[in-house]
Amino acid sequence: MKYEELSKEVSYALRHAPWEYELEMDEEGWVSIEQLLNALNTEGKFGNITRNDLAVMIDKSEKKRHEIKAGKIRAMYGHSIPMHIVKEEKTPPNKLYHGTARRFIESIKKNGLLPMSRQYVHLSADIDTAKKVGLRRDKSPCILEIDSKRAYEDGVVFYHGNEKVWLADKISPCYIREL
Ligand code: HQG
């Protein structure tokens, strides 16, 4: 089983295009595993996938992107679908980080961090994770430090993605420092 490819397709379905797979998604992003398996197995690209394959896919992944509960599966972050996905509000750690490309810095310093094509701004719990995120777009990425404690005290809402990923609606330039 090609778990990495499967994970990419599941992310695509759950983050960006549930309608292409005829999935009914609730407001927290959960869909029925049965519906997802039906769609994937009708497509047939991965052979006959089982519930266990999805569990192994999650287990083998280097990032915790999906979770399974009570016959349902969801993406933990990354959504771009029009329907708003409700995330759990949570007190952030004092500092969070964001890795990005050098070419975006001028705009970020002026406009702050914006969700762009996703529903939330994605922040990293540590510098190493932020660096990996930034490397997707630039071989020498910039790391931004977010004063999440002060932002939170000022009323900015943070949401939990997974143990490494935090979400926010928008981060104003006054909370951002380039490392
Ligand atoms: C940038 C991956 C100009 C922002 C990762 C980023 C993450 C601005 C890009 C998750 C801007 C959006 C999300 C502004 C933000 N002006 N550029 N005002 N505000 N940007 O992919 O955070 O592997 O939507 O810096 O690891 O890179 O898929 O967000 O470069 O956790 O599981 O606009 O996706 O996870 O890019 O990545 P993205 P991201 P997975």
ipTM: 0.98
Is any ligand 1 atom within 6 A of the Cβ of residue 116? Answer: yes
pLDDT in tens, 44-70: 999 999 999 999 999 999 999 999 999
Full 3-state SS string of the chain? CCHHHHHHHHHHHHHHCHHHHCCCCCCCCCEEHHHHHHHHHHHCCCCCCCHHHHHHHHHHCCCCCEEEECCEEEECCCCCCCCCCCCCECCCCCEEEEEECHHHHHHHHHHCECCCCCCCEEEECCHHHHHHHHHCCCCCCEEEEEEHHHHHHCCCCEEECCCCEEEECCECHHHEEEC
CA angle 81, 110, 141 (to 5 degrees): 70
CA distance linking residue 114 with residue 76, whole number of Å? 19
- The mean per-residue pLDDT over the stretch 95-104 comes to 98
Q: How far apart are CA 7 and CA 61, in angstroms?
A: 8
List the one residue out of 142, 98, 145 whose CA is nearest residue 120: 98
**Which value, to the nearest 10 degrees, does the dihedral of the CA atoms of residues 88, 91, 93, 95 take?**
90
Identify which of 4, 65, 116, 121 to mutate to test ligand 1's pocket (most ligand atoms within 8 A of the CB). 116
Position in ligand 1 atom list of the atom nearest CA 63: 32
Name the residue type at position 142: C
CA atoms of 58 and 49, how far apart (whole Å): 14
Closest ligand 1 atom to 137 CA: 30
Rg (CA), the chain: 17
Residue 158 pLDDT level (bands cut at 50, 70, 90): very high
Residue 106 Cβ contacting ligand 1 at under 6 Å = no
Quote the distance between the C-alpha of residue 42 and its chain's center. 27
State which of 61, 87, 104, 176 you would mutate to test the pocket of ligand 1, scoring each by most atoms of that ligand within 8 A of its C-beta. 104
Q: What is the per-residue pLDDT for 1?
A: 80
Tokens 């900015």: give the residue.
Answer: 156
Mean pLDDT value of segment 78-104? 97
Predicted TM-score of the model (pTM): 0.96
Q: What is the pLDDT of residue 179?
A: 96
Q: Which of 58, 100, 167, 172 to mutate to test the pocket of ligand 1 (most atoms within 8 A of CB)?
A: 100
